[in-house]
Structures are given as C-alpha cells and as structure tokens.
Amino acid sequence: MRFKTVLMFGAPGAGKGTQGAILGRIPGFFHMSCGDVFRNIDVNTDLGKAFYEYSSRGELVPDDVTVKMWAQVIGARTALGNYKPAADLLVLDGIPRTVEQAGLMDEHIEVLKIIHLVCNNETEMFDRLRRRALKENRHDDADEKVIRKRWDVYENETRPVLEHYSRDLIADVNSIGSPGQILHDILDYVVPTQDKHFTTFEG
Ligand code: ADP
C-alpha cells in the first residue's frame, strides 16, 4: 500500500515547515520535514557531513541518498507506531524536491493533494529567511549569496516537480498573510481530502 500523502510545496521561506508542523499537531495527520530530518543527523556521520556541505552552499543533497534516507526514516516511524499509514494522512514538506525524487517516491506515496504556497513578493521571502537565520541559527540562511542560490535551486530544480503531478491535485494558497489565515486556507483543501480517504481517527 502506498502512503496517502499531502505535499507542502513552495519556495524557501514560504512557510511549508511552519504550516506542516501545525497540521502535524492535529490527530490523523503525520508531519515529516525532510530538512529537519537532515538537521538532526549527527554531523560526524558521512550523511551528516554531506548534508552540511551541500546545505551550506545552498545546494541539494543528491537524490538517491535523500530518498533512501527518507524511506528509512518513514519505515522507522511506522515501526515505532508514531505514524500509522492506515489512519494518518502523511504531510511531507521539503520532499520531493526534484523531478528525480518525485519519480523515485512514486512507488511509496500516493499524492492526494499538493498545497502550493505561493509568494509573489520576493523581498518578503528574503526577509523571512534572514529573520529565521538569526532566530534558529540556520547556517544556510545567514549568507545573502546562499539565500540567492537556494532561490535559484528552487526555480530550476524544485518548481518543475509540480509538472510531475496532475494539475487538479494542486491547490494554490497565498503564503503572505497571518499564520492563522494561511492555516485556514490550507485546511479548506486538506480536511476534505482527509475525510474522503480516512474513516478512523486515533487520538
Ligand atoms: P527550507 O524550508 O528553507 O526550504 P529545508 O529546511 O527544507 O529548507 O532544507 C534545508 C536544506 O536541506 C536544503 O537547502 C538542502 O540542502 C537540504 N534538503 C532538504 N530537503 C532536501 C531534499 N528533499 N533533497 C535534497 N536536499 C534536501
């Protein structure tokens, strides 16, 4: 069985992580952020070192290792019973981030909805990334050149992922606004998806 999934999609700083984490607090949703998984890996391991190298340049970790790591983590969460595929809608943020990753993940996930956080204000996004760098001590958001690089990588490698999926799965949500308003707009799409596919809820 493939995991029933909602993708949080958007440029760096669009708020995927913030909104994904909020959804993850609601029973029946399981949130997983690929960036958080990477940041939690011990920096002394090979994968931890690779992550630090790529991310500090604003680049993506190679596709095959990323998807393998993702599959391992989700397998572990399932074994531990944190994530219950039969009862929980999986909310992924930060993965798939390339068309190649999307292809590799097709056998594992059934994408039911894509929340595309749209931002038409580049200056606002860059400000958010700078503020986050200060607040969360993110090495990849601290440098203007790295932020710019991450933005280019999004445009060139990540945005094309949208074309991998059927157009009618994609819901555009304005990512400029109060967190409550954005959550409200996201729930408009995600709640009916959950209701349609799941009948049992476990608290
Ligand atoms: P943001 O929320 O700002 O988009 P993330 O926390 O999701 O950033 O990711 C931080 C960094 O982790 C990325 O710049 C990249 O180096 C690495 N990373 C995260 N997810 C992936 C992925 N799916 N594929 C490759 N690299 C990734």
* Residues 170 and 3: beta-carbon distance below 8 Å: no
- Residue 72 CB-density burial (10 A; 0-12 exposed, 13-18 middle, 19+ buried): exposed
Q: What predicted TM-score, i.e. pTM, was given to this entire model? A: 0.92
| Residue with CA at minimum distance from ligand 1 atom 14 | 55
Confidence tier at 153 by pLDDT (50, 70, 90)? very high
Q: What is the pLDDT of residues 25-79, one digit of tens each?
A: 999 999 999 999 999 999 999 999 999 999 999 999 999 999 999 999 999 999 9
Kindly tell me if the per-residue pLDDT of 163 is higher than 60.
Answer: yes
Q: What is the pLDDT of residue 202?
A: 57
The whole-chain average pLDDT of the chain stands at 92
Cα of 38 vs centre of ligand 1, distance in Å, is 8
Cα of 203 vs centre of ligand 1, distance in Å, is 30
Q: What is the pLDDT of residues 26-38, one digit of tens each?
A: 999 999 999 999 9
Kindly tell me if the per-residue pLDDT of 134 is higher than 80.
Answer: no
Check pocket membership of 38 for ligand 1, CB cut-off 6 A: yes
